[in-house]
């Protein structure tokens, strides 16, 4: 059960000599919201029996307030209230400052209170207050010595409310003015005495007595994780790990305390996908976790990028960890990539550059309830169309993902049927070589292998009904020794000259979207085929299917000497917008191919029905719409080069 410390004032006189103390409903209402779910202790600068504001006793006769006055458990807690000097931060998950004019008198300058705020803040724990309780926070500073109000949003008793009750002279400052003076953004309800609660990261503040129950609810919501097991989130490490290691990237693990960082057991229970299960049982991973470095021992000079996985734990320790903030600064100022997913971006919120600018300033970012914090820090926040939809944003060297569905990178490669079908249409008649940006053994899309070898071909009718194949060409292609040799000896694009070939054909899959549009040798080759060969060489592409692997995208960046696209004035096909939507691939690609083809000056054509066969021949440009068109495009190639 989480533990909350209620801090009350020890002051019983205002500056004008009037009676004051802690305000009854601002203790009672949050207390009874929290008491069934949390352990609550009381504390005050002088300890036992902090004084109550008698005016609040007369003014508030609601059930909770009356109950609080007569509750034997509450009476014992008040009689045994700790001195602030005796409080240990590690015993609590949150601190809550009860209002009343008293907190504005003694707590802002009480050194034990100021120390306590700094310790709770540094530990990443919840700091909350209601009404004049917010005045208790004015001496609080972060690890850099800056006011915790600076750059954050607060509420508290407003100037108008203070004037309405005639208490301006009773306190050393007007809270609304003080919040603004310390660099905070002050907000309030539309009307005096209206309910207003503001949550800004680990800070929760309420405006007035009418906000007391609501702040209890906000605290309870924030505490729902307090005391619960958490740690690093399994799929948010496993998936990026295997994407990166498959591409030859060396990976080390690190954590604030070093070896054996704890996983979130719920994530182990909930995620049984291949990569997650593999990660848990991978002896190399186990060794890396067992020997994880302490953040204090890590230097950015030894790495090309920093990745922070999610789970609720990063919200708890990393934002206030000085070594974490040092490391972020080293990577960022060195111009290296900083990436995070889901709750991982919470680790970035407290770092500031030499000019005081947040890492998020002017950046586009995504994730969880960090949404308000990112906007506050001057970022542009974007998200998926639906909760828990995939969303990854790359903004310069900052890479962020919204949630577990946004894990960095899906396995991809060339798409099996879109190589196999044209290959066997052409192989009896022509010589075929393979090439790729990096040459030998280009990766296959593993999903296309599973799909193509498991079931008969069906056109999809919903988001979950994907194309399946048992065609002999796909199975044969996988086991063909000639094909295997051609793949093993595939040429690098840099070694290819168009003069050696009569046609160029681009196989589909996700991968052509990733590397080919920006590959210099690919664009050189397009230019040679399209412009520099003295005879009409057919220029050929094939549209990939699953998850928007679009080979035509390999062509979109090439321009001729006059700056015209290869698509300009041509009739072209490719995966349609409707097909893209049916496979739920819209968010996976940087643009709709159908729209892009039209934008580049072509006439877009398509089959009468989604996933119907369609091949377009326009001079030396031959395109196929989807996997069902791959045999037809092979036949069109053969016809063009006879």
For the chain, domains (ranges, CATH) are 3-225 (3.40.50.880), 234-406 (3.40.50.880), 416-641 (3.40.50.880)
Mean pLDDT of 204-216: 96
> What pLDDT is stored for residue 224 in this prediction?
66
> What CA–CA distances, in Å, run from 311 to 27, 240, 281, 318, 477?
33, 14, 20, 12, 42
> What pLDDT is stored for residue 317 in this prediction?
80
Phi-psi region of 47 (alpha: psi -120 to 50; beta: other; left: phi over 0): left
> What pLDDT is stored for residue 564 in this prediction?
76
Owner of token pair 């070939």: 501
Between 278 and 359, the more confident residue is 278
Give the pLDDT band of residue 538 (cuts 50, 70, 90).
very low
CA-to-CA distance for 50 and 44, rounded, in angstroms? Answer: 6
Mean pLDDT of 45-51: 98
Highest mean pLDDT among 115-119, 421-425, 543-547 belongs to 115-119
Give the pLDDT band of residue 549 (cuts 50, 70, 90).
very low
> What pLDDT is stored for residue 228 in this prediction?
62
pLDDT in tens, 419-476: 888 898 889 888 999 999 999 999 998 777 755 433 333 333 332 333 334 467 888 8
Strand (E) positions, 309-388? Answer: 337-341, 364-365, 380-381
Mean pLDDT of 553-563: 62
CA-to-CA distance for 264 and 590, rounded, in angstroms? Answer: 33
Give the pLDDT band of residue 641 (cuts 50, 70, 90).
low
Owner of token pair 């050929």: 540
Structure tokens at 1: 């059960």
- 3-class SS shares of the chain: helix, strand, coil, % to 5: 40, 15, 45
Contacts of 331 (CB under 8 A, 6+ apart): 300, 303, 305, 306, 337, 338
Give the pLDDT band of residue 634 (cuts 50, 70, 90).
confident
Main-chain dihedrals φ then ψ at residue 513, nearest 5 degrees:
-70, -30
Say yes or no to pLDDT of 631 above 60: yes
Say yes or no to pLDDT of 365 above 50: no
| Helical (H) or strand (E) element with 306 | strand 305-308
Say yes or no to pLDDT of 340 above 90: no
Say yes or no to pLDDT of 589 above 60: no
Mean pLDDT of 228-235: 82
Mean pLDDT of 347-375: 65
> What pLDDT is stored for residue 542 in this prediction?
36
Between 406 and 435, the more confident residue is 435
Say yes or no to pLDDT of 226 above 70: no
Closest CA to 11 of 141, 124, 106: 106
Between 398 and 525, the more confident residue is 525
DSSP string, 477-532: HHH-HHHHHHHHTPEEGGG--GGG-S-EEE--SSHHHHTGGG-HHHHHHHHIIIII
Say yes or no to pLDDT of 221 above 90: no
Mean pLDDT over all residues of the chain?
82
């Amino acid at each position: 059960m989480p533990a909350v410390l209620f801090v009350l004032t020890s002051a019983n006189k205002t500056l004008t000599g009037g009676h004051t103390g802690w305000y009854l409903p601002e203790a009672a209402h949050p207390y009874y919201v929290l008491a069934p779910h949390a352990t609550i202790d009381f504390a005050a600068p002088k300890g036992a029996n902090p004084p109550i504001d008698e005016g609040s006793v007369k003014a508030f006769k609601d059930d909770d307030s009356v109950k609080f006055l007569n509750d034997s458990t509450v009476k014992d807690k008040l009689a045994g209230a700790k001195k602030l000097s005796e409080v240990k931060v590690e015993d609590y998950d949150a601190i809550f400052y009860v209002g009343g004019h008293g907190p504005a008198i003694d707590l802002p300058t009480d050194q034990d209170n100021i120390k306590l705020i700094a310790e709770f803040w540094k530990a990443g724990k919840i700091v909350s207050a209601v009404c004049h309780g917010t005045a208790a926070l004015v001496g609080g500073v972060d690890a850099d010595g800056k006011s915790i109000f600076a750059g954050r949003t607060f509420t508290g008793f407003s100037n108008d409310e203070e004037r309405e009750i005639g208490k301006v002279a009773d306190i050393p400052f007007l809270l609304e003015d003080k919040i603004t003076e310390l660099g905070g953004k002050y907000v309030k309800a539309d009307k005096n005495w209206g309910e207003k609660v503001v949550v800004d990261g680990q800070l929760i503040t309420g405006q007035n007595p009418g906000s007391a129950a609501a702040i209890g609810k906000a605290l309870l919501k924030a505490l729902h994780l307090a005391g619960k097991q958490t740690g690093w989130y399994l799929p948010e490490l496993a998936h990026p790990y295997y994407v990166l290691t498959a591409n030859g990237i060396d990976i080390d693990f690190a954590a604030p305390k070093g070896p054996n960082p704890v996983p979130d057991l719920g994530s182990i229970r909930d995620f049984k996908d291949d990569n997650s299960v593999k990660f848990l049982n991978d002896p190399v991973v186990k060794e890396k976790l067992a020997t994880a470095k302490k953040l204090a021992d890590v230097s950015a000079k030894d790495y090309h990028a920093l990745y922070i996985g999610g789970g609720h734990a990063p919200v708890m320790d990393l934002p206030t960890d000085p070594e974490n903030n040092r490391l972020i600064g080293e990577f960022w100022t060195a111009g290296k990539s900083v990436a995070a997913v889901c709750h991982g971006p919470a680790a970035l919120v407290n770092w500031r550059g030499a000019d005081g600018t947040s890492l998020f300033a002017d950046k586009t970012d995504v994730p969880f309830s960090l949404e308000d914090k990112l906007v506050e820090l001057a970022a542009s926040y974007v998200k998926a169309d639906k909760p828990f939809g995939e969303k990854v944003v790359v903004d310069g060297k900052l890479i962020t993902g919204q949630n577990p569905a946004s894990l960095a990178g899906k396995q991809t490669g060339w798409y099996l049927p879109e190589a196999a079908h044209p290959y066997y249409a052409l192989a009896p008649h022509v010589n075929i070589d393979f090439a790729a940006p990096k040459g030998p053994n280009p990766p296959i899309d593993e999903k296309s292998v599973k799909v193509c070898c498991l079931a008969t071909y069906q056109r999809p009718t919903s988001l979950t009904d994907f194309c399946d194949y048992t065609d002999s060409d796909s199975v044969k292609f996988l086991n063909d020794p000639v094909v295997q040799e051609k793949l093993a000896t595939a040429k690098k694009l840099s070694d290819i000259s168009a003069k050696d070939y009569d046609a160029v054909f681009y196989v589909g899959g996700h991968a052509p979207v990733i590397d080919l549009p920006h590959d210099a040798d690919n664009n050189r080759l397009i230019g040679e085929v399209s412009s520099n060969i003295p005879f009409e060489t057919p220029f050929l592409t094939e549209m990939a299917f699953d998850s928007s692997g679009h080979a035509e995208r390999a062509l979109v960046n090439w321009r001729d000497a006059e700056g015209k696209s290869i698509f300009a004035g041509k009739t072209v096909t490719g995966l349609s917008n409707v097909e893209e939507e049916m496979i739920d691939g819209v968010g996976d690609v940087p643009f709709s191919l159908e729209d892009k083809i039209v934008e580049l000056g072509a006439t877009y054509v398509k089959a009468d029905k989604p996933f119907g066969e369609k091949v377009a021949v326009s001079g030396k440009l031959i395109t196929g719409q989807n996997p069902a068109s791959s045999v037809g495009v092979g036949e069109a190639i053969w016809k063009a080069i006879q």
